Amino acid sequence: MSLGSLAGWQSTLFSALSFTNLISYLQTDIQINVVISILLSSAIFFNFEYTDGSVIAALAVLETPTSINASNPQQVDISKVDKVEDDHVDQSDVTSRDRPEDARQLLSSLRQTLLCDIIPCLGAGLFMCAGLYLISLFDFIGPDLNKTHAMSTFVVSGHLTMNTIFSITPSSNAVTNQRSLARQHLRSQKGFRSIYPGLNVFLIYNLVTVLITILARPIFAEGHNLFVTMFFRLSFGLLLTNLHTAWVHAVISKPSEKSMWQRLPGWREWIAIIPAASLDIVLPHCVYHLTKRFGVSIGYQAFGEAHFSQENLGSLAFLIMAVVFEYFASIFTRAIYIRVAASMLPNDDESVVPFDHNFGGRVGNNETHCLTIIDAFRTMALPNWYRYLKIVWEVLYYEHIGIVFSGIAIAIQTTFWV
């Protein structure tokens, strides 16, 4: 899934370390070919997740298109984008005029897609589920097979619906309309290395995470108090927030001679970004644990003592539900954090994509020149949400396909390749 921010990578790293500890505790012998397959899959996952799921997604949160391409929305001249980036006055004039028009055209396209494609797709899925139910009443198929077909129909209809929604290309010259176009724009800055901006900050951030996690391993032991674990993650995350902000600045700005230490914000900026950082760290974890505990308590009250297999299936369902809700919460919090951190971008840094550095004049309302959480949400236009969510969905979709094929390959190696 799209991790998007260093806090998401940190949570994934915590889970990976816990899984590694479990494997070492079980003392399971893993074949060398399986290890090679896992490492190869991890390298492909990192390349796709870092560039598309993190860098391009962050740019989509901020980018403001500089013109509307009514004739051919998919054709974008990158040279014109770079030209407007160098002229902040013209950029401000154009974006204030074109933003409402871009939003209106996007809403019109979404409405047309809803009427022509999505409603018939969902209707066909519901009609098929109803048909399977009627057939099961006459004992032509068993009820279990009926449930399986109904669930498969629901999943396929949901995927088709999401793919149809995000198949729309907004009629603007935003480079984040398409991931391939955004990659091309990044390569035009400084070659192949430019698709991995901020990689040095990323590596140091995760290296410190691994070291602190190893030293504080008892805190992450199974059955430990939730509030103690949450307090540790919050304190640890806030200490590394300056690195996170420096990573955002490295991602959204053009390559420069600045070192990582020169990009670190001061203590005033660190205090100003604490609310957004706390939201990004705490809210997804709270949603996960509250959803899991609330779902389990409802399940026990509704069904009481269940069969062992049914109990395991119910626990898995509640776990999946909690992970999905946590992912939805992190999508919102990472966008807020990126916009708050971008409002602190120094004036001498050129942005990779054009965006309003004053955020509608809301940045200058305080001493730290930093957006608040409310202002970060209010200033994010509908086309930005659409481009951002489109990238998140595409990354999630292709990663799930890759995980399925990787799992099949590893299972075949484990079973037949001895």
Structure confidence at residue 133 (pLDDT): 58
More confident residue, 385 or 7: 385
Is 81 inside any structural domain? no
Is 4 inside any structural domain? no
Is 23 inside any structural domain? no
pLDDT score of 89 more than 50? no
Is 93 inside any structural domain? no
Nearest CA-CA partner of 64 in 340, 374, 351: 351
Is 267 inside any structural domain? yes
Is 117 inside any structural domain? yes
pLDDT score of 175 more than 60? yes
Average pLDDT over residues 83-92: 44
Structure confidence at residue 388 (pLDDT): 92
The model's pTM is 0.77
In this predicted model, what pLDDT tens digit does every residue of 24-67 receive, in sequence order?
555 556 667 777 777 788 888 888 888 888 889 999 999 887 65
> Mean pLDDT in the chain?
72
In this predicted model, what pLDDT tens digit does every residue of 97-143 receive, in sequence order?
445 555 666 666 666 666 555 566 666 566 666 655 555 555 555 55
Q: What's the pLDDT band for 335 if we cut at 50, 70, 90?
A: very high
Domain of residue 342, CATH code: 1.50.40
Number of domain units in the chain: 1
Q: What's the pLDDT band for 314 if we cut at 50, 70, 90?
A: low
Q: What's the pLDDT band for 93 if we cut at 50, 70, 90?
A: very low
Q: How many CB atoms lie within 10 A of CB 204?
A: 15
More confident residue, 407 or 16: 407
* Boundaries of domain holding 142: 36-64+104-416
Average pLDDT over residues 73-94: 46
Structure confidence at residue 196 (pLDDT): 84
Measured between alpha carbons, how far is residue 363 from residues 248, 360, 372 in Å?
17, 8, 9
Is 89 inside any structural domain? no
pLDDT score of 190 more than 80? no
Is 83 inside any structural domain? no
